[in-house]
């Protein structure tokens, strides 16, 4: 059954001009781009998005990093899209990510790790409407 997942191409990957490469990897993996746009997160938006990590020691740095430059946010669609995109992203720490994954190719560090993807149907259902209206889910 077709499923939606939410993605962020993070500021490091946008600054390094990797948006096209990453979206090509997504398309080559058989996922459809349902919506995409460039945004520059405010502090409030970055804190809200990663609120689940607000007690973690790296939260302050994570928020600063996420608002350090523009991001590209997208919705991808496909059968089992959430797990397929997580697999394509690779491990959180690029040093642990396997060959062929986005984080292996473009991640710089455990923080500046190129991309975010929803980790389950419940988070996708929150993250997609956090960034996109139903009118923007056009494809
Ligand atoms: P994401 O939620 O961005 O898809 P993830 O699910 O692989 O990543 P999480 O544990 O949810 O990993 O961490 C959220 C983000 O916080 C990571 O992607 C990374 O940018 C940052 N992060 C995670 N662990 C650390 C750490 N130990 N030090 C610094 N930043 C970290
Ligand atoms: Mg996560």
Please give the chain's pLDDT, 139 residues, in tens. 799 999 999 999 999 999 999 999 999 999 999 999 999 999 999 999 999 999 999 999 999 999 999 999 999 999 999 999 999 999 999 999 999 999 999 999 999 999 999 999 999 999 999 999 999 997 6
Atom of ligand 1 nearest to the CA of 91: 7
- Judge whether 40 counts as a catalytic residue: no
pLDDT of residue 109: 97
| 118 Cα–ligand 2 center, Å | 7
- Measure the CA–CA gap between 49 and 97, rounded to whole angstroms: 24
Reading phi first (left if > 0) and then psi (alpha if -120 to 50, else beta), residue 114 is in left
- Measure the CA–CA gap between 112 and 92, rounded to whole angstroms: 10
As for ligand 1, residues whose beta carbon falls within 6 Å of it are: 53, 58, 62, 92, 110-111, 113, 116-117, 119
| 20 Cα–ligand 2 center, Å | 23
Atom of ligand 1 nearest to the CA of 65: 20
- Strand partners of residue 72: 9, 38
Atom of ligand 1 nearest to the CA of 66: 20
pLDDT of residue 1: 73
pLDDT of residue 138: 79
pLDDT of residue 139: 64
Query: Which distant-in-sequence residues (6+ apart) come within 8 Å of 29 by Cβ?
Result: 84, 85, 88
């Amino acid at each position: 059954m077709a499923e939606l997942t939410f993605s962020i191409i993070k500021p490091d990957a946008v600054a390094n001009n990797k948006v096209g490469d990453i979206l090509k990897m997504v398309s080559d993996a058989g996922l459809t781009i349902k919506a995409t746009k460039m945004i520059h997160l405010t502090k409030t938006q970055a804190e809200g998005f990663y609120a689940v990590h607000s007690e973690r020691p790296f939260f302050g740095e994570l928020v600063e990093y996420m608002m350090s430059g523009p991001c590209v946010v997208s919705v991808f669609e496909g059968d089992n899209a959430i797990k397929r995109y997580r697999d394509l992203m690779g491990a959180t720490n690029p040093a642990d990510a396997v060959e062929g994954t986005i984080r292996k190719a473009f991640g710089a560090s455990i923080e500046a790790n190129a991309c975010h993807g929803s980790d389950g149907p419940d988070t996708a259902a929150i993250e997609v409407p956090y960034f996109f209206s139903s009118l923007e889910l056009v494809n």
